[in-house]
Amino acid sequence: MTEQTPRWLNPDERRVWLRLSALMELLPAALDAQLQRDADLTKTGYLTLAMLSEEPTRSLRMSELGARSNASPSRISHVVSRLERGGWVRREKSPDDGRGQLAVLTDAGWDKVVASAPGHVERVRQLVLDPLEADDLARLDAVVVKLLDVLDPDARFAATALARQV
């Protein structure tokens, strides 16, 4: 029999939850602020460029790009449009599938990633990697894997699939 009446949070749970809520608000905001200021890019915009830059072909289907950038179809479409306006990305029809679109990183887009990556990576180090011991990092990773497993049971997002392979 599952417990039907909602179980309230005990003080320990409440504390963890409030802290985690704060983290989920503050960490993305801090990273967005850095990228906005230094590169005029959103976190998702940056990640999108980064993901494209790691492909041998420097291109990816919209849906795959969304999966890697943690973005819904609607969102990735907007993000790519914005990047396209900036000249960092262009769209191409997919050769295999008439419905499909390819997002292709332009040369300017490549330069953009190269230019903005160091500053962003440095900020990620400052805020996340450096404050944690190797142990902490491993534990955090294990916890995050468990949470992603529940959040994204069908592994629609690349990070969840990654979690299951490794």
Partner DNA sequence: CAAAAGTAGTTCAACGTTGAACTATATGGT
Partner DNA sequence: ACCATATAGTTCAACGTTGAACTACTTTTG
- Residue of 35, 44, 49, 105 interacting with DNA (CB under 7 A): 44
- Residue 162 binds DNA (CB under 7 A): no
101-105 and 59-61 strand pairing: antiparallel
- Residue of 78, 127, 145, 161 interacting with DNA (CB under 7 A): 78
Binding to DNA in span 4-43, by CB under 7 A? 29, 32-33, 36, 42-43
Q: Is 133:44 a contact under the CB 8 Å cutoff?
A: no
- Residue 156 binds DNA (CB under 7 A): no
Q: Is 129:137 a contact under the CB 8 Å cutoff?
A: yes
Report the partner that residue 91 touches, choosing among a copy of itself, DNA, none (CB closer than 5 to 8 A by kind): DNA
**CA 87 to chain centroid:** 21
Taking the C-alpha atoms of residue 101 and residue 95, their distance in angstroms, rounded to an integer, is 9
Binding mask 5-24 for a copy of itself (x = CB under 8 A): -xxxx--xx-xxxxxxxxxx
Q: Could you tell me which residues are beta bridge partners of residue 105?
A: 89
- H/E element holding 161? helix 158-165
Query: What's the residue count for the chain?
Result: 166
Work out how close the CB of 80 gets to a copy of itself at its nearest, in angstroms, rounded to a whole number.
17
Chain contacts with a copy of itself (rule: CB under 8 A): 6-9, 12-13, 15-28, 30, 43, 47, 70-71, 117-119, 121-122, 124-129, 131-132, 136-137, 139-152, 157-160, 162-163, 166
